[in-house]
Amino acid sequence: MVDVIKNTQVHCTYGCKTSKAVQPNVAGKMISKAKRPLFIVGSQVLKDEELLKRTIEIAKKANLPVAATGHSISGMVDSGVNAKYINVHALATYLCDPNWQGLDGEGQYDTVIMLGHLKYYLNQVLSGLKSFSNLKSISIERHYVQNATMSFGNISPEVHIEALDELIENL
Mean of pLDDT values over 131-160 = 95
Q: At residue 110, does pLDDT exceed 60? A: yes
CA-closest candidate to residue 52, choices 164, 171, 167: 164
C-alpha separations of 154 from 22, 121, 141 in Å:
11, 17, 9
Q: What is the pLDDT of residue 15?
A: 55
The pTM of this model reads 0.88
CB 130 within 8 A of CB 94: no
Question: For residue 33, which of 66, 64, 68, 67 has the smallest C-alpha distance?
Answer: 64
pLDDT (0 to 100) of residue 10: 41
Q: Is the pLDDT of residue 2 over 60?
A: no
Report the pLDDT value the prediction gives residue 17, as an integer from 0 to 100. 77
Q: Please give the Cα distance from 136 to 145 (Å, whole number).
A: 13
pLDDT > 70 in the chain, percent: 91
Confidence label for 148 from pLDDT (cuts 50, 70 and 90): very high
Q: What is the largest CA-CA distance in the chain?
A: 68
pLDDT surpassing 50 at residue 7: no
Of 22, 34, 86, nearest to 95 (Cα)?
86
Q: What integer pLDDT is reported at residue 19 of this predicted model?
A: 84
